[in-house]
Structure 1
Amino acid sequence: MHIILFDTSALRGRFYPLSYTKPFASLQMGIFSMKEWWEKMTGMQVFLLTEDYLQAGYPLPENEWVYFINAGLLPNRNIWNEIQNLQEGELLKAREGQLLAAKANFDKNEKLAFLQINYSERKVETDYIFIERPYQLLQNHARAIEEQLELIMQGKNSQKISSTNNIIAPENIFLEEGVQMEYVSLNASEGKIYIGKNALIMEGSMIRGAFALGENSVVKMGTKIYGATSTGKKCALGGEIKNTIFNHFSNKAHDGYLGDSIVGNWCNFGAGTSNSNIKNTANEVAVYDYFSKSMVAAGKKFGLLMGDYSRLAINSSINTGTSIGVCCNVFGGGLLPKHIPNFSWGISNRNSKYQMEKAMQHIQNWMALKAEKLSDWEIQILQHIFDNADI
């Protein structure tokens, strides 16, 4: 059998702009994406069921019995045991009635047809975590890194750490092959640290766990990182960073502060850019919710949500609880607006739109810097978002 992680419109909508360009389960959370985490824990092949305009990049299995799992459900052994105990044609629901999982027949033509069938139900018995809002990713970030690293460390040994480094709690640190790291301070006493294959941490950097650095990523000289922070592959970090998730290929490589934030793929922060993650009044932070088109509470500390392919000019000042859409070229003086829509060009004229042809060329330019290319499928997704941009 296989697993299908399925999006719901509410889940994807609450994670815009991050989920405009990818299924929810493709988002990074620690060392892995949600999809990769389920695969590593279960040993099963995992498929993603999402919106039609995204689905072409995510193949689905043939018609068969599968485990359907709501993409917002975090993996853990106990909940997986309950899912495996489902009978064919049985649903697993939360005590409040929310669908968590099902063992059902998958039909490529009908997809979620089982929702229309009068299947039997059982209520979940074990504790579980269900992610509904972006700030909950950050609240569970350290836990994700810890649990994911435990999966990696089963039957696998860390590479040796050079004696030039200053290390606290080395038993909680794991280095993959090809890591370059000299004269660095790592403190894993309060959270585990994972350094991915062929990553580089330059001298003078100071890092507290929990922390996960993706494959072929770089931490620049003298960087200060507080847990929990993680990156995807080919990212570059610098300055001061705290409790932030970077998806693949993004750069925050220069001085400036970034905290309590989630950054999409292919984003770039100009030198000197900083964000606010707490209000001067210490009141609740509100962030723009694309699903309800309103401001929603995000806790006492929340910094930035930044969609894929967006870039910030040098010395940008990011407001508390800011949402920057997909493919924005952000520049302009003063404190930035809290909501910057998809395909925005600057902030001084809110009716100025980043033109599609120019945007694609600029993305190609950035991708070339990391020896990557923009695919036709990615262009189709961006065209769909451009045609429906909320600007």
Structure 2
Amino acid sequence: MTDIRAELREYLLGWFGQYLPANPLLWYDILVLCWLAIFAIILHLIIRNSAKHFLKGRFSERIVQPDAKTPADLAFKLAKHISFVIQGAVVVIQARLWIPEGSSFLHIIEMVTDQWIILFSLLSLFSLLDIFQVISDRRAVRAHFPIRGLLQTIKLIASVLTGILAVSLLMNKSPLILLSGLGALSAVMLLVFKDAILGLVAGIQLSANNMLAVGDWLEMPKYGADGDVIDIALTTVKVRNWDKTITTIPTYALISDSFKNWRGMSESGGRRIKRSIHLEMNSVRFLNEQELTELRKANLLTKYIDTTISSISAENASKDMSCLLNGRRLTNVGTFRHYLIELLKQHPKIHQNMTLMVRQLEPTNKGLPIEIYTFTNTTVWAEYEGIQADIFDHILAILPVFYLKAHESPTGNDVRSLSIGKL
């Protein structure tokens, strides 16, 4: 092979030597360099057009630009990077064919092409990982494993190893020599890549414990986050808040600090209503016969009043009912609570298989709290708020029917009325 290469070189020098000025060897090197450049450009165009034609028939998306984030564009970018790798390999082979061994010119070409091949091999790996990321993001059911963080870790490790390999080729030393020297720099490396290491560990723990996934509703007041998780990366988690702002949280903070994940609510199919209405204390009293007769007309109260009155009458038959302290009587607030229970049981938007109750809380200076504790059969925020508002609109409107009043703190109008009354 060496003899053939030398004979070919001497033949070209003899053929072109008569047309070249002094120092024909220099002009020979320039001629070889031009040939290598032209051959590499033609090869690149052939590979690029072939890849574009092939991918156009395999993907439904149109190839728009290399920076786009569709599988077709990323595949085209991968093909382009691979073509650059092939170009570097072909240039080395061509250079070794036309340039004698041991020459400085050949050494320079080999050194440049080696770095070229390493660089575009790394970029090819990045493009391949980006394709995996886009395919994962387009899946109908997202995996709980934070694949973006894993892919970023692979990119980081590949970049470090590629840098070591590139330096070792420039120094003409074994990569193991550089790796052995990194032991003394381990403390510095840990400090530089602290966030990446903590993020990787946190991502593995989040995945192993199924604590967080893209699309979950996350609430973390410490960082002002309250919205949907849109991205779980190696070092950060992005949350789109309900006001459309973006909050960035360190991934390791999700392990070291507490947060609320509303995924359980979304998967259960019901969202809790837990709200109280405060009644004025002096409006609570017993109901008389006439008032019970009027309330009995309500479909939701007929059965309750008839059953309860029958039971109370049997129990109070031997008691002196002229004294309010004797026997049992129906109160307006107790009847009101049972009405609310029946109302919620028949409400089409209330989840009947989850907790449903109306309870009386401890009285305070703000009145007597009557709390609604139930679940809607939808988790859509707008629908949930509409259902809750409709229920409490109705409750506030029917309070006078039960001879009850909602508690309100004194206002300026109350003070003015009191002053006028004293005058």
TM over 0.5, shorter chain: no
The bucket for the TM-score relative to the shorter chain is under 0.3
More helix by share: 2
Say which one has the larger Rg: 2
Q: Structure 2 length as normaliser, TM-score?
A: 0.19
